[in-house]
Amino acid sequence: MKEQNLLDEEWDICIVLDACRYDVFKDLYKEYLRGELEKRKSKGSNTLSWLKNTFPKTYNITYVSSNPFISSLDLRFYTSFFDWEMKYY
């Protein structure tokens, strides 16, 4: 299995499904998304370790999350948006 190295990959939009089981997602993703699915070895066994190992420095990335735990961390991205802080009109 290939190791996940997000910052070495070429992408415009990357969607990370935190705590999503691969076997379940594999059975359903074609109903909602196009493209090739690849299983990768994660850089962490939980959200915090994955973030620290994936983004060890400051990056020019816009990070959008719907996880309230994420906003309590010292994230070093260009900008961050947290779903629970947004107002939808």
- Decide: 6 and 51 in contact? Cβ < 8 Å: no
Report CA 40 to chain centroid distance, whole Å. Answer: 13
Q: What's residue 88's pLDDT?
A: 46
The total number of structural domains in the chain stands at 1
Q: How far apart are the C-alpha atoms of 1 and 52, rounded to whole Å?
A: 21
Q: Which two tokens stand for residue 78?
A: 């260009």
Tens of pLDDT along 23-78? Answer: 999 999 999 999 888 888 999 998 888 888 988 888 788 877 777 777 777 776 75
Q: What residues does 62 pair with on adjacent strands?
A: 79
Whole-number Å distance between alpha carbons of 83 and 55: 20
* pLDDT score recorded for residue 81: 55
Question: Which domain range does residue 17 map to?
Answer: 2-85
